[in-house]
Structure 1
Amino acid sequence: MMLSQTQDRICRECDLDFSNLSAVLVNASLKPAGEPSHTDTLLDVVDAIFCSQKVEVERIRLSKYRLAPGVYPDMREHGWAYDEWPDISDRVLGADIIVLGTPIWLGDMSSLARAFIEKLYAHSSQTNDKGQYVFYGKVGGCVVTGNEDGLKHVAAGTLYAMSHIGLTVPPQADCGWIGEAGPGPSYGDEKEDGSGRVGFDNLFTQRNTTFMSFNLLHLASMLKGQGGIPAVGNVRSEWDAGEKPGWPNPEHRKDG
């Protein structure tokens, strides 16, 4: 993927070290895994920026896997004959940065994007070694593509879900391309006049993609450098054990 001149300059002039970070870029396109995807094309830009900063990047195409409906880590334990989420869950949970890419259909994220969010939620009862929810200390962002309205709506739902399960969302954590409303070219299609690829010269898309990518890197680096989010006031076991921070323990109250 070729970066724009401005993107390339910013990447080359960056003197920060992000080489200890890992990222997973998840594509929720509904197309079969072997077919080209416009969402993949914009994720390629994020990939190129991350790779320029020596970040370890892994790509996952969700349509390659059969994900059983449900919000448990392995739905085969809950009545389904199949669930390939366990084949990829460790790769997702092991990353410092999680980016979900989705096309827009009927003004909303794809069904596979929703399934991915549900699979993240399946791990909401799990904790890290500090007793916090397992996604604490990781950051999330989203990439949205299409040729109809819905970019901000999809981003809002995606980023809220990520935050709710414990991912940290930096400023300007989304980017996208929707072109003109209605049927038309999608990101990366050839222009009719042969002058290049649609969206590649769009300042809004390229700027926001760059902002999102670097903000994800900055926040992930800050969190990793300080060992994640401090485990004060956000540890599940304190509440499960009845030890409400700042509350008197009923077991130790005196009568009267």
Structure 2
Amino acid sequence: MAAPLTATAINCSLSSRGRKSSTDAMLAVLAEHFAAHDVSVADPIRIAAHSIKWGVKSDEGEGDDWPRIREQILAADILIFGTPIWMGQASSVAKLVMERMDAFLSETDDKGRMPSYSKVAVAAIVGNEDGAHNVASQIFQALNDVGWTIPAVAACYWVGEAMGSVDFKDLDHRPRKVNETAKMVAANAAHLARLLKEAPYPG
């Protein structure tokens, strides 16, 4: 039997509160498929609901909630990075998270490994406009720069009609391709995370 793994999901929606967002809905799709691979996914962290200061350090001082969220992210084997598409790009909240992770570059161990080394990251992306590939490229390049490992088929996304009124969370039926992609994302990420947990990067 495969060793159990853990995943932290973050929701980089612009909204700090209210009903479940489409990003939550896509994160739930991935959590469902991760469960089939003995990966326990904690409740998503709604980033905008916390007081996270702008900056590029792991702790920006009094009132900064990032150190606690950073700890939750790094305690897991897998990061599920969820973001909506705004103006064809990852949300400003997503960019805030990526900028805060820039601190990893100077937080290496005695073998030159950042705290995210040997941990896997995947993405959950939703929007009512084109841009999913652009958002994935932004996220994955940034995350790889700060030490995360990106598996094959690492992004699950849904893009609705441009300027349309139907959101992913409002769909009557889950699209077949979304389900198939989520299944592959979960399988590949779990497989890679287990390999890296047993044999971390040597540095």
Is this a same-fold pair by TM over 0.5? yes
Aligned counterpart, 1:44: 28
Which letter maps to 1:65? H
SS of 2:104 mapped into structure 1: coil
- Answering whether residue 37 of structure 2 is matched by residue 53 of structure 1, we say yes
Aligned residues: 202
Q: Distance in 2 between matches of 1:135 and 1:129?
A: 14
- Answering whether residue 117 of structure 2 is matched by residue 136 of structure 1, we say yes
Please state how far the C-alpha of 1:123 moved relative to its aligned partner.
2.5
Aligned counterpart, 2:9: 25
The TM-score with structure 1 as length reference comes to: 0.74
Q: Distance in 2 between matches of 1:206 and 1:142?
A: 14
SS of 1:124 mapped into structure 2: helix
5+ unaligned residues in a row in structure 1: which ranges? 1-15, 191-195, 232-256
Which letter maps to 2:10? V
Which letter maps to 1:122? A
Deviations 1:108-133 (CA, angstroms, capped at 9, x unpaired): 01111111111211222112464412
CA contact (8 A) 2:8 2:78 kept: yes
Please state how far the C-alpha of 1:180 moved relative to its aligned partner.
1.9
Report the RMSD for the aligned CA atoms in angstroms: 1.6
Q: Distance in 2 between matches of 1:125 and 1:33?
A: 33
Q: Distance in 1 between matches of 2:117 and 2:170?
A: 38
Q: Residue 19 of structure 2 is aligned with which of 13, 35, 40?
A: 35
Deviations 1:8-58 (CA, angstroms, capped at 9, x unpaired): xxxxxxxx5141x11111110112233211000010011112223332322
- Which of 1 and 2 has greater Rg? 1
**Equivalent residues in 2 for 1:1-256, closer than 5 Å:** 17-19=2-4, 21-58=5-42, 59-76=44-61, 82-128=63-109, 130-190=111-171, 196-197=172-173, 200=174, 202-226=175-199, 228-231=200-203
Please state how far the C-alpha of 1:230 moved relative to its aligned partner.
2.1
Structure 1 stretch 84-93 or stretch 148-157: which is displaced more? 84-93
Q: 1:91 to 1:128 in 2, by over 3 A?
A: farther
Deviations 1:204-239 (CA, angstroms, capped at 9, x unpaired): 21111111111110110111111x1122xxxxxxxx
CA contact (8 A) 1:18 1:53 kept: no
CA contact (8 A) 1:39 1:144 kept: yes
Q: Distance in 2 between matches of 1:120 and 1:51?
A: 27
Which letter maps to 1:73? S
Deviation beyond 3 Å, 4+ runs, structure 1 = 128-131
5+ unaligned residues in a row in structure 2: which ranges? none
CA contact (8 A) 2:16 2:47 kept: no
Q: Distance in 1 between matches of 2:66 and 2:117?
A: 21
Greater relative contact order (CA < 8 Å, ≥ 6 in sequence): 2
Kindly, what percent of the aligned residue pairs are identical?
A: 35
CA contact (8 A) 1:18 1:217 kept: no
Q: Distance in 1 between matches of 2:49 and 2:103?
A: 20
CA contact (8 A) 1:148 1:181 kept: yes
Which letter maps to 1:208? T
Q: Distance in 2 between matches of 1:51 and 1:34?
A: 26
The TM-score with structure 2 as length reference comes to: 0.93
Please state how far the C-alpha of 1:173 moved relative to its aligned partner.
0.6
